[in-house]
Amino acid sequence: MPIDAPQTSTANARAFAPGRTLRQGAKVLPEHARGHNRALVLQTLFHQGAMSRADLSRETGLTRVTISDLVAELIADGFVAEIGVRESSGPGKPAILVDLDRSGHRIVGLDLSGSDTFIGAVLTLDGNIVARREVALPGADDLVATVVELARALVADSHAPVLGIGVGTPGVVDDHGVIVTAPNFGWAGFDLETALRRALDLPVLVANDANAAVLAEYTFGGAPDDVLLVKVGRGVGSGLLLAGQPMRGSRFAAGEIGHVTVGTDGGPRCACGKVGCLEAWLSVPSLTSRLAEASDPAAREGVLRDAGERLGIALAPVVGTLDVSEIVLSGPTELLGGSLADQAVETLRARTLAPSHDDGVRVRMTAQGQDIVLRGAAVMVLSGQLGVS
């Protein structure tokens, strides 16, 4: 029986979207070197801020000539700007500082994961939101038209060239932005990315909302290279980075932990028909209705502890298998942030082997609040269009 040839291609380069490279692992071919070097310059300025061409040469390991050439090209393209000279005490000509032209282009981010609204924002290249819009969730027949209209309005709000449009959506999304399945919207095998690109005539990148969220946490939230982000809203999903690489899974459904059954003692009935799914314990509607039924503070504490324990049970094998160092929770802090997170940590520690006492997995709330998917959508565009993440 023939054995498949070893994979030498950039297998991870399209983890969520075209051209995505969070951590470049593959060998760089000569014909890709210029694009790679260009991304390296942008990436260095993105993370370290203004510096001279000599600094850039030292930081990137590229020659002064190559740097001068690339910087000239990036200035002409409007991605880099000269921003003045460095204060200098010594003799000689003061160095000219260059930086990412953070306001020279804009990114449009859309978050389709809300229960009642689609939200969108205009972002600068460093992920700051400068304009927002939201629209009520439309009926099933008007979904795409509503998304297009929202994106057009935001492009009009941008007042600068738009680098691209990033979209975080519920459902399983393949690496070409095709919605494999999104039951809430009735989408199956629907090429949302192409539909939006044709309507808007701009680069569009579409990914699952939790996968977008973990990118925001990685780029803007200081998450480590091995991190799982659990997103709790109307449903429950997660996004996973390992060694700085997004994990998509064999059928693009990595991280879909919402319908894993936790425990053998039954539990609430889930929208999918099973009982005791993680989502049935943990989703915002489920937590809210069980808290409303609780008669006193002790009963409410019990509801949160119970949900935290179920989360810990669901995550323990994941932590044990993958050795992620941090779990980030995204959702309403008043539900997730206190007893629920504490109990999840306790359960996780009881059910996994920590290398040493203080080395257990960390569980924390995101600091990105409700903007996490919008900012993750911006990272998709930065990564896809500029190679910056």
Write out the residues near Zn ion by the rule CB under 5 A: 259, 270, 272, 274, 277
Q: Which is nearer to Zn ion, 174 or 279 (CB)?
A: 279
Q: Which is nearer to Zn ion, 74 or 277 (CB)?
A: 277
Q: Which is nearer to Zn ion, 283 or 389 (CB)?
A: 283
Nearest distance, CB of residue 273 and Zn ion, angstroms: 7
Q: Which is nearer to Zn ion, 219 or 283 (CB)?
A: 283
Nearest distance, CB of residue 297 and Zn ion, angstroms: 29
The residues that bridge with 121 in the sheet, in sequence order, are 109, 132
Nearest distance, CB of residue 257 and Zn ion, angstroms: 10
Task: Find the farthest-apart pair of alpha carbons in the chain and give their distance in angstroms, rounded.
Answer: 77
Nearest distance, CB of residue 266 and Zn ion, angstroms: 13
Torsion of CA 278, 284, 285, 286, to 10 degrees: 40
Nearest distance, CB of residue 207 and Zn ion, angstroms: 22
Give the pairing of strands 162-169 and 204-208: parallel
Q: Which is nearer to Zn ion, 85 or 272 (CB)?
A: 272
Q: How far is CA 15 from CA 31, 50, 91, 125, 353, in A?
A: 22, 30, 50, 21, 30
Q: Which is nearer to Zn ion, 114 or 268 (CB)?
A: 268
Nearest distance, CB of residue 178 and Zn ion, angstroms: 23
The arrangement of strands across the sheet holding 80-85 comes to 51-52, 96-100, 80-85
